[in-house]
Amino acid sequence: MAVLSSAVVAGAAWAAYAFAQEPASAPRVETQVAQPQAAAASDADKALIEKGRYLAAAADCIACHTAKGGKPFAGGLGIDSPIGKIYSTNITPDKTTGIGDYTFQDFDNAVRRGVAKNGSSLYPAMPYVSYAKVKPSDVKALYAYFMRGVQPVEQANKPTDIVWPLSMRWPLRFWRMTFAPDAITDDSPLPNDPIVRGRYLVEGLAHCSACHTPRGVGLQEKSLTDDGHTFLSGGVIDGYLAKNLRGDSKDGLGTWSEADIVAFLKGGRTAHSAAFGGMTEVVENSTQHMSDADLAAIAAYLKTLKPVDTAGSALTANPAAAAALRAGTDRSNGALTFLDNCAACHRTSGVGYSETFPALALSSAVNSDDPTSLIHLVLQGGEMPWTKAAPTHYGMPGFADRLTNRDIADVLTFVRSSWGNHAPAVTADQVAKVRGAVKAPAQPTRAENP
């Protein structure tokens, strides 16, 4: 069963585009900050570079522009998109293969407008639709950091694996014209209001919408700011459901306190939930390195978002399932599969163990209408992030080669209808679809195929 079964799932797949002339591959690494160059700098320059370093962490640039095992920011991460694989680019200050000859205007055009140095359009996996809201002074700090605080690496960019004619970039100009907002020009300081600061971070550098907002037929985010309904209401990415961050009690953040949100972003877990999937890397690479004040501002802003379902009510605990499991009176396949595979960690009460094995009972992730994340976790398992705030590390194994599609559907249906949970049943066909999409091992042959 899912050891990591509630949380905010991100996993920047669409949110990771190259801003060089050709995309370059860049899997994720475990290094947070590259070694700075030795060039002398004034105190003011050092402060600007340090500010840029912090903002680059807030934007999680390293996650998409660093290949697994590669040099920081040297590109090479393969990013799957609906039209083929794109590779992130080298954004180190190397003059031959990186962005060392970019002027500030070149850099700003790429980051906030989606236009490469040669004038071509970038694929919208580079979240320039969000970065358009970043103030020019913050872009200048980022530019100072990438030019003077990052070690140059000579590493050529990779071409995309997108077939012609989809590989042509000129149509992207019309995508930008239709869906990308104008870059802001207002560079005045933000008012001293945590909610305003939180909105600025969420909508801009943190680009939360790239994963947590559903997309339209043009693969555009349906909203880039709070529209009272779709913005941050959840979306499927990388085989996970990036959960609803609005105020819904059942499947959103309605029952989360601001302290819960801060603890989650800082340590990757709370007393009742834990990060999984792409959000694990977001916490490791980005949010754990942000200041307490900024995390509190993000939490304060998220708590202002109204629920999608304004008529929804909070779930209430129901001990009947726990009693039936303990008495052995529930002999359904779902209940027995839970006892055999899940109860040791998540307990027959479904409450798990605080900050170790997340609760399944009344979990917003468990109660989401879309069971994609839960299926993915049961199939392939997951791990909590490594963080300074929560240095202990827990994970759960995958059950793809142990449980059939029917077993997984039954156990998840049991979980989603027990202890007060109330979510739609899961079908074997849904499990089969996710199993194929995430390339999990084939189900065991011992049992009857659905």
- The residue assigned the tokens 């090479």 is 76
Q: Find the farthest-apart pair of alpha carbons in the chain and give their distance in angstroms, rounded.
A: 74
Strand partners, 86: 79
Three-state secondary structure call for residue 168: coil
List, as residue ranges, the binding site.
61, 64-65, 208, 211-212, 342, 345-346
Output the CA torsion sign for 436, 439, 440, 444: positive
The angle subtended at Cα 210 by Cα 248 and Cα 315, nearest 5°, is: 15
Q: Which residues does 68 contact at the CB level (< 8 Å), separation at least 6?
A: 27, 28, 29, 77
- CA distance linking residue 277 with residue 153, whole number of Å: 29
- The residue assigned the tokens 């370059």 is 24
List, as residue ranges, the binding site for heme c.
61, 64-65, 208, 211-212, 342, 345-346
The angle subtended at Cα 231 by Cα 226 and Cα 232, nearest 5°, is: 120
| Helix 43-58 with 136-148: angle, nearest 10 deg | 100
Q: Which two tokens stand for residue 289?
A: 């390195």
- CA distance linking residue 281 with residue 240, whole number of Å: 14
Amino acid making up residue 200: Y
